[in-house]
Amino acid sequence: MSETCKVSVERRGDVAVFWTDGYINNQGGEEIAREAYSELDRGARALVMNLEKTRIVNSIGISILIEVLEKVMERKAVLAFCGLTPTIDKTFRIMGLAQYAAIYPTENEALRAVSAPA
Amino acid sequence: MSETCKVSVERRGDVAVFWTDGYINNQGGEEIAREAYSELDRGARALVMNLEKTRIVNSIGISILIEVLEKVMERKAVLAFCGLTPTIDKTFRIMGLAQYAAIYPTENEALRAVSAPA
Amino acid sequence: MAQHGPAPTEPATAGAPEVSLTIPVAPEMEIVATAQADALGEYMDMPRDKIDEVKLALVEACINAFEHAHTEDNQVHITFRVGGSTGDWLEIEVRDRGRGFDAEGVESPSPQKTFEERRRRGWGLHIIKSLMDEVEIASGDWGTRILMRKYK
Amino acid sequence: MAQHGPAPTEPATAGAPEVSLTIPVAPEMEIVATAQADALGEYMDMPRDKIDEVKLALVEACINAFEHAHTEDNQVHITFRVGGSTGDWLEIEVRDRGRGFDAEGVESPSPQKTFEERRRRGWGLHIIKSLMDEVEIASGDWGTRILMRKYK
Ligand SMILES: Nc1ncnc2c1ncn2[C@@H]1O[C@H](COP(=O)(O)OP(=O)(O)O)[C@@H](O)[C@H]1O
Ligand SMILES: Nc1ncnc2c1ncn2[C@@H]1O[C@H](COP(=O)(O)OP(=O)(O)O)[C@@H](O)[C@H]1O
């Protein structure tokens, strides 16, 4: 039913931008993971996840995002988050996600960062 | 605490415009009534109540609005509502408020109607 | 239908996700209760305007219990049930352990009585019946129980 | 303080407005429960970000009961209490009648275990403790009770 997270993705060159809408639990997390793996398979070099329409990510959802992050790192790609509420930001920091993925306030900043030549 | 309806009023010539924000129950209704009587005392000829930031008006709140409407009619003034949700509109019609007060979709329409020469 | 199906006394509600809420008799607690109707309405994808109608009906049932029931436990008990195979309806039961009333004997309101005879109150039950699809009222010296259902 | 004050066993909560909610063990019911935290947080004028923290802590406590408790009644019982003279804190008690666990014996999580040893779960209780101001866990063969409080 409707609390379930909706995920939409747009490809911009080798960057894939994800927008989530709603609660990220195991189901929402798996939906994101599915899309992320398909973008990696299609050669994405960076994933930007804009969570501004998500107010809650539970610990199971985050554990799946961590799995995604690990896959991203294996492929030598990068993952950036933006649009986090203070609570989501805090939880990402507690769980260490912030040590391996970049967090930006806005989508523009995230896009600029992942597009900059390394 | 914070569910209580906030009421703000602005005078434009002999028209007083009311904006409500929040739940209209007995307290909210009485707050509106207080402001309405003071505007009538200060010579307002028309009251326009914009309820677009109110999602619930309970039957006690409406009974107080009906009291206000009666006072308005006694003073040969007019009362118009605008920005009603479908549910509030329906309830106003059920209780007969719509027979004696005018209901307009928008504040502009309400203002235009009460400002038109009779 | 499987054999573990509905009990005979509650035909349509068995197996439906059920949420119970108890609120104290206190100002604005009726609004706190509507949060639950909101969440369940969204959970079952009920359109926004119908959710608003359910919320107002719930508010009216709660304030009746607050104002008229004179409960001993100072509480109102609410049960929400989502039913039908795809969340087709939301049922709300509002119970108080108050002094009850003669539901049949309540005079119906009308705009005329309201405006001409200045009897402005007495609309709560009528509003509940107008906004919900099915309403059942039971009342006695044990208290009052309003059962109301809205289809999405 | 008046003489009709708090009972000795529940010092800080007596007289606080109390709302109880029972939800079924079912997907997304934890989100339905957060609607109540939202409504009470707004009722007491708790800042939005703190309400969000309370909601996540509540979600974690509920999904633990859903996932680990193996309750017989298939329910999670939640009590919300608003306390202090001007609604200073919100207390939430989450109870299940499940099989319980050894709360002291739970290994603490760390980013290192999560990333290097790939043990990505085990964060729920830690998150609850990080987001709430006071947390008390009691568990046994009767089930589990998490009592958590947030000041506004
Ligand atoms: N829960 C209740 N307990 C006792 N009496 C009730 C209850 N609900 C309604 N009543 C009685 O029914 C009457 C009509 O209620 P209602 O239509 O809601 O209008 P109002 O509350 O404005 O009087 C009330 O005045 C009261 O006497
Ligand atoms: N309500 C509960 N009933 C039974 N066991 C529980 C309950 N809550 C937590 N536990 C136990 O504590 C462990 C740690 O929980 P938690 O920190 O929330 O992480 P996770 O749920 O990811 O395992 C769980 O794996 C479980 O064994």
Test C32 with D28 for CB contact under 8 angstroms: no
Q: By alpha-carbon position, which residue is closest to atom 1 of ligand 1? A: C65
Provide the shortest C-alpha distance from residue D54 to chain B (in Å). Answer: 18
Res D14: pLDDT: 47
DSSP per-residue letters across A36-78: HHHHHHTT-SEEEEEEEE---B-HHHHHHHHHHHHHHHHTT-E
- H or E stretch including A86? helix A86-94
Query: Which chains are within 8 Å of C by 3+ CB pairs?
Result: A, B, D
* pLDDT exceeds 70 at position B81: yes
Res D97: pLDDT: 97
Q: Chain C residue closest to B101 (CA)?
A: C115
* pLDDT exceeds 60 at position D152: yes
Q: What is the pLDDT of residues D96-130, one digit of tens each?
A: 999 999 999 999 999 888 888 888 889 999 999 99
Summary mean pLDDT of chain D: 89
- How far apart are the two ends of chain C, measured CA to CA in Å? 23
- Backbone torsion region of residue A16, taken as left when φ is above 0, otherwise alpha when ψ lies between -120 and 50, otherwise beta: beta
Quick check: C59 contacting D, CB < 8 Å? no
Test D45 with B3 for CB contact under 8 angstroms: no
* pLDDT exceeds 80 at position C19: yes
Q: Which two tokens stand for residue D12?
A: 């800080």
Res D113: pLDDT: 87
Q: How many CA atoms lie within 13 A of B100 on its CB side?
A: 21
pLDDT average, residue stretch C39-62: 97
Virtual torsion, Cα D61, D64, D69, D72, nearest 10 deg: 70
Test A63 with D120 for CB contact under 8 angstroms: yes
Q: What is the pLDDT of residues C79-112, one digit of tens each?
A: 999 998 889 999 999 999 999 999 999 999 998 8
Summary mean pLDDT of chain C: 89
Residue C147 CA to ligand 1 center (angstroms) comes to 15
Provide the shortest C-alpha distance from residue D94 to chain A (in Å). Answer: 17
Summary mean pLDDT of chain B: 94
Give the residue numbers in D contacting A (CB under 8 Å), as ranges: 27-28, 30-31, 34, 49, 52-53, 55-56, 59-60, 63, 109-112, 114-115, 118, 120-121, 123-124, 126-127, 130-131
Test D56 with A87 for CB contact under 8 angstroms: yes
pLDDT band at residue A4 using 50, 70 and 90 as cut-offs: confident
Q: Chain D residue closest to B2 (CA)?
A: D43
Residues 6 or more apart from A19 whose CB is under 8 A from it?
A7, A8, A9, A50, A52, A53
Res D92: pLDDT: 98
C-alpha B8/C-alpha B81 separation (Å) is 15
Q: Give contacts of C118 with chain B, Cβ < 8 Å.
A: 70
State how far Cα B77 lies from the chain centre: 13
Q: Chain B residue closest to D44 (CA)?
A: B1
B contact residues 22-41, partner C, Cβ 8 Å cutoff:
23, 25, 27
| Residue among C58, C60, C64 to mutate when testing ligand 1 (max atoms within 8 A of CB) | C64
| Residue C101 in contact with ligand 1 by CB distance below 6 A | yes
Res D4: pLDDT: 40
pTM of the model: 0.90
Least confident segment among A5-9, B48-52, D62-66, D83-87: D83-87
Test B85 with C121 for CB contact under 8 angstroms: no
Test D36 with C31 for CB contact under 8 angstroms: no
Test B2 with D42 for CB contact under 8 angstroms: yes
